[in-house]
Amino acid sequence: MTTSSLKLKDLVNKDIRLAPGHRMCQGCGAAIVVKMALLAIDKPVVACSPTGCLEVTTCISDSTAWKIPWIHSAFENAAVTLAGVETMYRALKKRGKISQDMTFVVFAGDGGTYDIGLQSLSGVMERGHDLLYICYDNGAYMNTGTQRSGATPFGASTTTSPAGSAVPGKLQLRKDIVKIMAAHNIPYVAQASPSHHLDLMRKVQKAVSISGPKFINILSPCHRGWRSKADDAITISKLAVNTCFWPLYEIENGKMKLTHVPKEKLPVADFLKPQGRFAHLFRPDNAWMLEDAQRQIDAEWAALQATQACEASGN
């Protein structure tokens, strides 16, 4: 399948490369993200995951849900672990010991991407290894108790930024990891959401068709940490996109393109309300936080639109 021919009828007959029976929570966004990404790739895949929700639930002792070669790395070095495998593969292929085309994919949470693994990830991107790094972003260290991470949104209540009378949740903005990766001048960077599955899969397909380092940040709802309903992953993901909390775009060879523009841009409160981690924002004394959150999102969305318009005009 090519990116232009990706259709549901082609996907239903493909093998699911993440087997059922894993220990992920019911309705976990990470399982959805991994299944979609692997469905989009036709070539053999070698994957790596650092310690995190995905790792501890898919490979316990001698049981595994992975139907592909998969490596568990330490929290801080998934990117460089897979870069070593990719380097070995290129060497063996050059010597004629391997003829098969393969692709290499990291699946890591935001804790192992934005924070603990950032140095390793940055080095791999800068050195130009031919692999795809996918961050399943649930906005906290969910595996170890919902502690705040660099991906935790402004205002969210976590176990290390609890909303109370002294501090009303996290007061810092989340890192813009997509732009941080784009600053490495790599050929492809994107942001995606499981609510827009064809957009997500096309981005994965485009990424693996490009030589060199690629990065995709994918929203991954966690109903345990977000304190939402177990069956709300896709609904909340769609609200994230339509409120522009999670804009869908790609940066290919330095050129930014929005891949989805909501027909109606909803207020960010629509995305925040279904999540218990933001319940305190709807108290009268915290109205200023909702206003700040809306201003931040409006400014980011306006900047993305302005960038696209500028590039479309050739300026």
Structure tokens at 309: 């318009």
pLDDT digits 0-9 by tens, 276-315: 999 999 999 999 999 999 999 999 999 999 999 998 877 6
Residues contacting 315, CB < 8 A, separation 6+: none
Domains of the chain with bracketed CATH:
8-312 (3.40.50.970)
Average pLDDT over residues 261-281: 98
pLDDT at residue 56 tops 80: yes
Residue 177 sits at the vertex; the CA angle it makes with 226 and 202, to the nearest 5 degrees, is: 85
DSSP 149-196: -TTPPTT---SSS-BSSS-BS--SPPP-HHHHHHTTT-SEEEEE-TTS
- DSSP H/E element including 241: helix 233-242
Compute CA 115 distance to the chain's CA centroid, rounded to the nearest angstrom.
14
pLDDT digits (tens, 9 = 90+) for 98-120: 999 999 999 999 999 999 999 99
